[in-house]
Copies of this chain bind each other. A is one copy, B any other.
Amino acid sequence: MPIGVFDSGYGGLSVLREMQRVLPDKDFIYLGDSGRAPYGGRDLATILDFAEQCTELLFAEGCKVVVVACHTVSCVALRHLQHRYANDERRVLGVTVPAAENAVAVARGRIGFLGTRRTVGSHTFRTEVAKLDATAEVKEVAAPLLAPIVEEGWECGEIARLAVQQYVEQLGEVDTLVLGCTHYPLLKAVFEEVLPDGVNLLDPAPFVAGRFMDWLMRHPSFSESAGSGLVRVLSSGDTARFAVNAERFLGKVPSVVEFVSERGGRLVFSAEGSEPTGQFLR
C-alpha cells in the first residue's frame, strides 16, 4: 500500500524527501508529470484533466492516499479531486492548507507568497490564511520565471539572484515569505541573500510532511503495512534528465525512473526507446 505523491515535475520530490524523513518505513510512488510541466500557465480545464489523470494513475498503481505536492493543482483542483475520488478507502490530500497553517503559526501579520500565475490567480492560499487569521495581510505575487530557472539548473547564479530580487520587490514589506511552488526551495540560498534581515523564509514541505504523518496516525486504516522505505519514481518527461534533476530535489539519484507517456491527452505506461534525431515520422 504505497503512498502516492504527484507534482507537475521534479519539484514535489522535495516534499517527498520530507515525507520520507518522518516516515522512513513507508513505500512511496512519485509521479512527476514533467512532460507536461509547467502547469502554472495552463487553463483550468486542462489542469483538472491532468490532475485527474495523475490521481487515477496513482490509485491504479495501488495507492490509497494521494498527496498533491503541486501547489497549482492543490490551489485550483484539490476539492474537485476529493469530490470525485475520496471515499472510505481512498483519500486525496493537498499542500495549501498546511502551508497556510504553517505561515499563520510563524508570521507576525504580514505574509508574502510566491507561486505560479495560476496558483496566485486562485487566491486559495489567501483564502485559507483568512480562515485561520482574519487579521493577517497576505500579498501574493506570481513568479513564473523561477521554476524555469530551476529546471535549467541555474539556481546558483546571478540570473537567479536578479529574478528573485525582482519578485521580492513586488511583494513589498512582509515578515514571512512562503515558497508556494515546489521548485523554489532550491533557490533558498538566493532568497536568504536577497530578503531583508528578520524575514522568515518558509518552505512548507517539512510542515506538510509532519501534518501528513499526523493525519496517518489519525487514519490508521490508511497506514496498515509498514512497508520497506521503497520509492518508485514515474515521469512523463525525459527519464534520464529526470533522474539527474531528481537528485537535486530528493538528495539522491532514484534507482530507476519509469516512463509514462502522453498519448491522445492521457497518461499511459510506455517503453522508452532512444529517440530519433531529425524528422520524426509515424
Known contacts A42-B35, A278-B123, A158 near B148 by CB under 8 Å: no
Residues of chain B contacted by A37 (CB below 8 angstroms):
41
User: A19 CB to closest chain B CB, in angstroms?
Assistant: 23
Q: Mark A135-162, 1 if CB is under 8 A from B, else 0.
A: 0000000001100110110100111001
Q: A35 contacts which of B35, B43, B264 (Cβ < 8 Å)?
A: B43
Considering only residues 93-119 of chain A, those with a C-beta below 8 Å from chain B are: none
* Nearest neighbor of A80 in chain B, beta-carbon distance: B281
State whether the Cβ of A13 lies closer than 8 Å to any Cβ in chain B: no
Residues of chain B contacted by A145 (CB below 8 angstroms):
148-149, 152, 154, 159
- Which of A49, A159, A266 has the most CB atoms of chain B within a 10 A radius of its CB? A159
Known contacts A265-B264, A278-B124, A282-B48, A162 near B151 by CB under 8 Å: no
Residues of chain B contacted by A238 (CB below 8 angstroms):
41, 43
* Nearest neighbor of A51 in chain B, beta-carbon distance: B280
Residues of chain B contacted by A158 (CB below 8 angstroms):
158, 162
Q: Copies of this chain, how many?
A: 2
Residues of chain B contacted by A282 (CB below 8 angstroms):
45, 48, 80
B121 x A277 contact (CB < 8 A): yes
User: A232 CB to closest chain B CB, in angstroms?
Assistant: 20
A80 x B279 contact (CB < 8 A): yes
State whether the Cβ of A176 lies closer than 8 Å to any Cβ in chain B: no
- Which of A54-62, A71-79, A183-191, A221-229 sits within the interface? A71-79
Binding site for B on A (CB under 8 A): 34-37, 41-49, 75-80, 83, 121-124, 127, 144-145, 148-149, 151-152, 154, 157-159, 162-163, 166, 236-238, 261-266, 275-282
